[in-house]
Chain A
């Protein structure tokens, strides 16, 4: 009898509340969808939004950051779930990002006649998976969380029924993602075979002193293959081909979601496996990630530079490619962690950068969603004269773009880049810092070009059409993102402190 009870792990429900609430609300929405009359369906959106807000609020009691659960009964220090500071910050990013996405989605669902219940269920499930991932501390949970975050995303991308682009995007996304997951599973199984463990801390321990030196090849192959899965999610080159087509085909809020939450999933997984799981293989993944980062930012920025502003979908394509470029910056501190004595310090820069990026990128997508209501072609040329039509929206977009470019008045963007630069310089990765510097200039060119378009006088005479009112949820999303960006620009310490304190 006693042997049976000792197998049951104790569960700290408070610690796992954030992903659990999101998952529970997802189910509730799915069930409620069956009973609600068509006219009342918009209610589901508000339930989902409230659920996400509640999940974000449930982070508050955990702030001390010492809770762990699902620990081995024999060894209370080996746990599968840890609500430490790193997990909490990423969970906040994920849930807040999903919340902003939800605000963007309310009107998109209405305008494009998307299936309401399914949409919210899928969004919430994906958010639940994304919130689980940063807290997972064993390889099995990581894989499951990654799948929970990804599978609903495939369906969301393909949700625009009858739209050829949408289904093609979903298929492309699905096939490449599944291939990446399969490769990653192979890597995980290699690691399990080499170390006999799944818990990251134990894997780290075992990798440092393999029982048999002949296993070393298997272990390093496992390390490399595991990274692939997360590199795919982060949209790192050469696993980035799905990005532009997927963003263009997906409903715009989903593209926004993938660009922020999807990336958060990717890089937090990457951080966990590299820094927590394979510290003894830093000489393998450090240089690999550095090269990956350099390639990613260069390919992303150069492709974004080549977007023709008059082509349809150029705005979304530009955001897609620029998000690839930004993923490159996010990878820099992780690569630097492979060289530094104090890896926790370096990854803080990634977290700080991701928080900045999340807020302003979602803001940019929110404005794109607004502009798409009147000109659905998503061309950058459609933004011409936006300042004359909607001065505040244009100023907000200008601010978001300059934050992404890292120029004042986007002070937070500038300092987020500074922390990334300093992580690279500190780790002795001078060449990577120089590559990034060149990329920052390339990126500035297209961001500023777009910003300049906003303020250029509209060639056409003032439109006769009465100004359509901006829907409240969109206003809320833009305001929220802009307020975050401005607050952070005034007090960058709010996010930059993660770059100085140890998170893991």
Chain B
């Protein structure tokens, strides 16, 4: 595919959702009115996200896999000369998978909402916000200018705030505020760091900065340290890094299903992507100084996340399943940050792989838990499980099976996507970059290893309490309820057709990425080598 077509595809993928969001607010044109206005606008959302997904897939198809380290489909035009801000877009092996993941997850969310609109005000605003959110996330992964990156980073705040606050569950207002205030406080600090980089180096262009630190001289060690600290705080809130994570469980628990899916699947990746794209190549020396601290916090996050999950899954803890998966995200993102902090190609590749894997698996899990809530009215594990277990295997075998699949994928079973990323991240920590304290990183690796064990423990307990169990009656036939000491849980509907459609791509990709990791690593590795090598 020629360069112009690629350019148009990339720019189109970023701009189209915005246009679609505006169009969603207007009344439907004749011929597209559908059964009723609500249905028409939800269908509009599906159409636009499908086109964006098609564009991103075409972009991936046209991507020159021979040179994944080179920026492709680049557009570079001046926008605000006064501040030296340019509209510089492009994809390489690092951003392409994230771009496709975003387009895919948003499409699946739109598809899911078409059949299962979350309760709340009119779907018109819902679709518009979803599309703005998509545009913001795609832009974050596609832009190559620090200020535009910041703009895109901020762009997702308002839509996500409203998605949580308007269509969310219990305590939605407080959770939405917590989400936006944490992120904003982080991102204004990040802005200061980005400005420091831009003003001291004379350019905001990420590519130029990554290769030679800009037209002015190299950034001094002090500047790099301050910049990476400021930028790092912003990214760490988003990622989230322990102890800046406390917005995340609340936001995930309160958000509607698609909100949780996008928050976990895509928004968290913006933070880790920023570390790889900005902190590592632009301020390598500062990053080098801070890496052990980052790794230590990441390791604590892994342990903390899994311990929190273990506490939630205990009998009588009244743990919420959605909250549990949110805490498991803290642990999984800890692996990603540990990989980045190792500053080795192995670790960073692992981090990027774990990023994608987490997006697929946690996206799937949030879909499933959301659907479970719709079916059973609650995601409280104790309520669900009752005395013996929720027995999803018996009540809705396919649903239960998929939930178990998601859980074992999340615990990092070899052969599924969750395995490679976390293993490579720990490999990276085993032999960190030259100059980083090896004993320290070995400790962090050991902690991470312990974290995988704890992760396996709580996820298996989840499977035990939610998928298995049940009364004798539930095991044989739902008709024999009366024999049970307590009324057996009613049969719940198994997977519907739209649920197959929305979830099977995620499951399939989880298996594919687990069996054929080279497809992804082949893309990221050259780009990572180049970033870590100072662009040479």
The interface residues of chain A lying within 8 Å CB-to-CB of B155 are 408-409
Please pick, from A438, A455, A492, A497, the residue contacting B162 in the complex, using a CB distance under 8 A: A455
Which residues of chain B in 21-73 are interfacial with respect to chain A, using CB atoms and an 8 Å cutoff? none
Kindly state whether residue A493 has any CB partner on chain B within 8 Å. yes
Which residues of chain A in 434-455 are interfacial with respect to chain B, using CB atoms and an 8 Å cutoff? 434, 437-438, 440-441, 444-445, 448, 452, 455
The interface residues of chain A lying within 8 Å CB-to-CB of B15 are none
Please pick, from A430, A457, A500, the residue contacting B82 in the complex, using a CB distance under 8 A: A500
CA distance A499 to B80 in the complex (A): 11
CA distance A492 to B158 in the complex (A): 21
A437 contacts B192, C-beta separation under 8 Å: yes
CA distance A426 to B197 in the complex (A): 11
The interface residues of chain A lying within 8 Å CB-to-CB of B147 are 415, 418
Please pick, from A425, A438, A493, the residue contacting B80 in the complex, using a CB distance under 8 A: A493
B192 contacts A421, C-beta separation under 8 Å: yes
Kindly state whether residue B184 has any CB partner on chain A within 8 Å. yes
Kindly state whether residue B485 has any CB partner on chain A within 8 Å. no
Which residues of chain B in 146-161 are interfacial with respect to chain A, using CB atoms and an 8 Å cutoff? 147, 150-151, 154-155, 157-158, 161
A448 contacts B82, C-beta separation under 8 Å: no
Kindly state whether residue B115 has any CB partner on chain A within 8 Å. no
B181 contacts A441, C-beta separation under 8 Å: yes
The interface residues of chain A lying within 8 Å CB-to-CB of B396 are none
Chain A residues within 8 Å of chain B by Cβ, number: 35
The interface residues of chain A lying within 8 Å CB-to-CB of B154 are 407-408, 414
The interface residues of chain A lying within 8 Å CB-to-CB of B177 are 445
The interface residues of chain B lying within 8 Å CB-to-CB of A402 are 158
CA distance A501 to B82 in the complex (A): 8
Shortest CB-to-CB span from A345 to chain B, Å, is 10
B195 contacts A425, C-beta separation under 8 Å: yes
Kindly state whether residue A15 has any CB partner on chain B within 8 Å. no
A500 contacts B191, C-beta separation under 8 Å: no
B151 contacts A448, C-beta separation under 8 Å: no
A444 contacts B184, C-beta separation under 8 Å: yes
B195 contacts A457, C-beta separation under 8 Å: no
Kindly state whether residue B166 has any CB partner on chain A within 8 Å. yes
A497 contacts B82, C-beta separation under 8 Å: yes
A433 contacts B192, C-beta separation under 8 Å: yes
**Chain B, Cβ-Cβ closest to A425:** B195
Shortest CB-to-CB span from B126 to chain A, Å, is 12
CA distance A455 to B79 in the complex (A): 32
B151 contacts A425, C-beta separation under 8 Å: no
Please pick, from B79, B165, B199, the residue contacting A493 in the complex, using a CB distance under 8 A: B79
Please pick, from B85, B136, B184, B196, the residue contacting A425 in the complex, using a CB distance under 8 A: B196
Say yes or no: A437-B195 contact (C-beta < 8 A), given A408-B158, A500-B82. Answer: no
Shortest CB-to-CB span from A382 to chain B, Å, is 20
**Chain B, Cβ-Cβ closest to A444:** B184
A496 contacts B184, C-beta separation under 8 Å: no
B83 contacts A409, C-beta separation under 8 Å: no
Shortest CB-to-CB span from A278 to chain B, Å, is 26
A411 contacts B180, C-beta separation under 8 Å: no
B165 contacts A452, C-beta separation under 8 Å: yes
Kindly state whether residue B125 has any CB partner on chain A within 8 Å. yes
A407 contacts B83, C-beta separation under 8 Å: no
Say yes or no: A407-B158 contact (C-beta < 8 A), given A418-B147, A440-B188. Answer: yes
**Chain B, Cβ-Cβ closest to A398:** B158
Shortest CB-to-CB span from B245 to chain A, Å, is 18
Kindly state whether residue B121 has any CB partner on chain A within 8 Å. yes
For B79, B195, B199, the residue with the greatest tally of chain A CB atoms inside 10 Å of its CB is: B195
Kindly state whether residue A422 has any CB partner on chain B within 8 Å. yes
B80 contacts A422, C-beta separation under 8 Å: no
Please pick, from B82, B151, B180, B188, the residue contacting A499 in the complex, using a CB distance under 8 A: B82
The interface residues of chain B lying within 8 Å CB-to-CB of A455 are 125, 162, 166
Kindly state whether residue A419 has any CB partner on chain B within 8 Å. yes
Shortest CB-to-CB span from B23 to chain A, Å, is 15
CA distance A499 to B166 in the complex (A): 39
Kindly state whether residue B435 has any CB partner on chain A within 8 Å. no
**Chain B, Cβ-Cβ closest to A496:** B82
B192 contacts A434, C-beta separation under 8 Å: yes
CA distance A497 to B195 in the complex (A): 18
A437 contacts B188, C-beta separation under 8 Å: yes
Shortest CB-to-CB span from B10 to chain A, Å, is 20
The interface residues of chain B lying within 8 Å CB-to-CB of A421 are 191-192, 195
Which residues of chain A in 448-504 are interfacial with respect to chain B, using CB atoms and an 8 Å cutoff? 448, 452, 455, 457, 492-493, 496-501
Kindly state whether residue B185 has any CB partner on chain A within 8 Å. yes
B80 contacts A415, C-beta separation under 8 Å: yes
Kindly state whether residue B189 has any CB partner on chain A within 8 Å. yes
Shortest CB-to-CB span from B15 to chain A, Å, is 12
Write out, one digit per residue, whether chain B residues 181-225 have a CB within 8 A of any chain A CB (1) or not (0).
Answer: 100110011011001101100000000000000000000000000
Which residues of chain A in 386-435 are interfacial with respect to chain B, using CB atoms and an 8 Å cutoff? 402, 407-409, 411, 414-415, 418-419, 421-422, 425-426, 430, 433-434
Shortest CB-to-CB span from B195 to chain A, Å, is 5
Shortest CB-to-CB span from A395 to chain B, Å, is 8
The interface residues of chain A lying within 8 Å CB-to-CB of B82 are 352, 419, 492-493, 496-501
**Chain A, Cβ-Cβ closest to B182:** A441
Please pick, from B79, B151, B158, B195, the residue contacting A422 in the complex, using a CB distance under 8 A: B195
CA distance A415 to B196 in the complex (A): 15
For A411, A418, A457, A497, the residue with the greatest tally of chain B CB atoms inside 10 Å of its CB is: A418
Please pick, from A422, A434, A441, the residue contacting B83 in the complex, using a CB distance under 8 A: A422
The interface residues of chain A lying within 8 Å CB-to-CB of B79 are 492-493
Pairs of residues from A and B, 9 with the lowest C-beta to C-beta distance, nearest first: A500-B82, A496-B82, A437-B188, A408-B155, A497-B82, A493-B80, A425-B195, A441-B185, A422-B195
A–B pairs, 27, beta carbons within 8 Å: A402-B158, A407-B157, A408-B157, A408-B158, A409-B132, A409-B155, A409-B158, A411-B151, A415-B83, A418-B150, A422-B83, A422-B195, A430-B192, A433-B195, A438-B188, A440-B188, A444-B180, A448-B158, A452-B162, A455-B162, A455-B166, A492-B82, A493-B79, A493-B81, A496-B83, A497-B82, A498-B82
Additional A-B contact list (19), CB under 8 Å, known A409-B158, A500-B82: A407-B157, A408-B136, A408-B155, A408-B157, A411-B151, A419-B82, A426-B199, A430-B192, A437-B188, A437-B191, A438-B185, A441-B181, A441-B184, A445-B177, A448-B180, A452-B162, A455-B125, A493-B80, A500-B81
- What is A's interface to B at a CB cutoff of 8 Å? 352, 402, 407-409, 411, 414-415, 418-419, 421-422, 425-426, 430, 433-434, 437-438, 440-441, 444-445, 448, 452, 455, 457, 492-493, 496-501
